[in-house]
């Protein structure tokens, strides 16, 4: 199943020709491309992005790009290289530098540039009950990372990771704001729905763990009480304590609430009697302790 980030790239790449497409091409070239003295190459693991690049070079500049699939890279993913060469390609690259400068001022060009940069250098993980919200742009160029962080209009943190620059947000609001800014409104709805499901799973998991811990504590406490109370002589206890002792020994796994119900008592009264029994059991087991019956009077 494709990742959510892969689906976002597919949606971005599916947009047809229109205003801002050159700025988008500029963002993609800056984020995933290399320029040399004869032309430019953009590399991607996304087939939709590769096809979109070829359409853009043709529709915007009349170029005939060359697509070269390469051997699978990390995680076995197929890689694609889209190459343009020649004087017209070099002229197009210069025109895209103008688009980059225009995009830096924001507006429609800035949004389009951000869309292209995400296709080339963006990623999104989560949401899920084991994963938080995380959208980031990663690139060797600090200038590019700072540029896209500014265009996102979201407070993004900057960092270095394995020699590369990173701009990221771990805010759910930040993630959905960036998605909406790139025009991915359906993705915003899906992301929010996934977040709700993930939070529900997390809450259910926390409740399950809490209940299991409580059950374990109850079982341990009951077992310890049972071991201690077995040393008491029921015949030497007052009637109220004798009744509670019998209840505990007959129902070793019962909780305090269950013991109170069985004895027709409040939880407070049941707890008080159990504590008194434990005290008496402790005194009875001590080498120099008093007799249990004496402590029960």
Looking at residue 24, its pLDDT comes to: 95
Do residues 147 and 248 both lie within one domain?
no
Rounded to an integer, the average pLDDT of 50-57 is 94
Q: Is residue 204 part of a domain?
A: no
Do residues 111 and 170 both lie within one domain?
yes
Query: Among the three residues 199, 225, 243, which one is the final residue of a domain in this structure?
Result: 199
Flag the least confident range among 156-165, 200-209, 251-260, 279-288: 200-209
Q: Quick one: what percent of the chain has pLDDT higher than 70?
A: 77
Domain that holds residue 104: 4-199
Looking at residue 295, its pLDDT comes to: 44
Q: Quick one: what percent of the chain has pLDDT higher than 90?
A: 46
- Cis peptide upstream of residue 127 (ω within 30 degrees of 0): yes
Q: Is residue 32 part of a domain?
A: yes
Looking at residue 290, its pLDDT comes to: 42
Please list the residues that pair with 128 across neighbouring strands: 131
Rounded to an integer, the average pLDDT of 159-164 is 94
Q: Is residue 267 part of a domain?
A: yes
Looking at residue 199, its pLDDT comes to: 55
Return the higher-pLDDT residue of 215 and 297.
Answer: 215
Do residues 160 and 24 both lie within one domain?
yes
- Residue 27 scores a pLDDT above 70: yes
pLDDT digits (tens, 9 = 90+) for 214-236: 544 554 455 445 555 777 788 88
Residue 253: pLDDT band (50, 70, 90) is: confident
Please state whether the predicted TM-score (pTM) of the whole model is above 0.75. no
Tokens of 235: 């015949």
Looking at residue 259, its pLDDT comes to: 84
Do residues 68 and 142 both lie within one domain?
yes
Q: Is residue 205 part of a domain?
A: no
Q: Measure Cα distances from 61 to 13, 91, 216 in Å.
A: 18, 9, 70
Return the higher-pLDDT residue of 125 and 296.
Answer: 125
Instruction: Count the domains in the chain.
Output: 2
Q: Is residue 249 part of a domain?
A: yes
Do residues 91 and 227 both lie within one domain?
no
pLDDT digits (tens, 9 = 90+) for 61-76: 999 999 988 766 555 6
Q: Is residue 206 part of a domain?
A: no
Do residues 48 and 130 both lie within one domain?
yes
Tell me the pLDDT of the chain averaged across its residues.
82
Query: Among the three residues 199, 220, 254, which one is the final residue of a domain in this structure?
Result: 199
Task: Say how far apart CA 165 and CA 139 lie, in whole Å.
Answer: 5
Task: Say how far apart CA 170 and CA 288 lie, in whole Å.
Answer: 63
Do residues 274 and 175 both lie within one domain?
no
Residue 289: pLDDT band (50, 70, 90) is: very low
pLDDT digits (tens, 9 = 90+) for 162-172: 999 999 999 88
Do residues 122 and 232 both lie within one domain?
no
DSSP 14-63: T--S-TTHHHHHHHHHHHHEEE-SSEEEEEES-HHHHHHHHHHHHHHH--
Do residues 224 and 163 both lie within one domain?
no
Looking up residue 12, the CATH number of its domain turns out to be 3.10.28.10
Residue 244: pLDDT band (50, 70, 90) is: confident
Q: Look up residue 250 and give its DSSP letter.
A: H
The stretches of 104-184 forming alpha helices (DSSP H) are: 107-121, 142-152, 172-181
Do residues 274 and 129 both lie within one domain?
no
Task: Say how far apart CA 43 and CA 123 lie, in whole Å.
Answer: 16
Looking at residue 170, its pLDDT comes to: 92
Residue 1: pLDDT band (50, 70, 90) is: very low
């Amino acid at each position: 199943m494709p990742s959510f980030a892969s689906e976002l790239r597919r949606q971005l790449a599916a947009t047809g020709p229109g205003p801002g497409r050159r700025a988008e091409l500029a963002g993609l070239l800056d984020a995933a491309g290399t320029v040399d003295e004869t032309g430019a190459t953009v590399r991607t693991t996304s087939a939709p992005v590769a096809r979109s690049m070829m359409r853009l070079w043709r529709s915007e500049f009349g170029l005939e790009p060359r697509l070269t699939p390469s051997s699978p890279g990390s995680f076995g993913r197929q890689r694609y290289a889209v190459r343009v060469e020649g004087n017209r390609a070099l002229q197009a690259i210069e025109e895209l530098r103008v688009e980059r400068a225009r995009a830096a001022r924001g507006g429609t060009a800035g949004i389009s540039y951000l869309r292209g940069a995400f296709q080339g250098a963006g990623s999104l993980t989560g949401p899920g009950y084991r994963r938080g919200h995380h959208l980031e742009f990663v690139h060797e160029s600090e200038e590019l990372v700072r540029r896209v962080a500014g265009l996102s209009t979201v407070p993004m943190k900057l960092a270095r990771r394995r020699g590369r620059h990173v701009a990221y947000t771990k805010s759910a609001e930040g993630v959905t704001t960036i998605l909406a800014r790139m025009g991915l409104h359906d993705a915003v709805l899906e992301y929010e729905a996934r977040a709700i499901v993930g939070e529900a799973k997390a809450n259910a998991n926390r409740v399950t763990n809490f209940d299991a811990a409580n059950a374990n504590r109850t079982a341990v406490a009951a077992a310890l009480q049972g071991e201690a109370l077995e040393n008491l002589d029921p015949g030497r206890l007052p009637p109220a304590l004798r009744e509670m002792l019998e209840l505990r020994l007959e129902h070793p796994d019962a909780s305090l609430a269950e013991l109170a119900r069985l004895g027709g008592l409040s939880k407070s009264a049941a707890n008080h009697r159990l504590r008194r029994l434990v005290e008496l059991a402790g005194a009875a087991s001590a080498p120099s302790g008093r007799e249990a019956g004496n402590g029960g009077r």
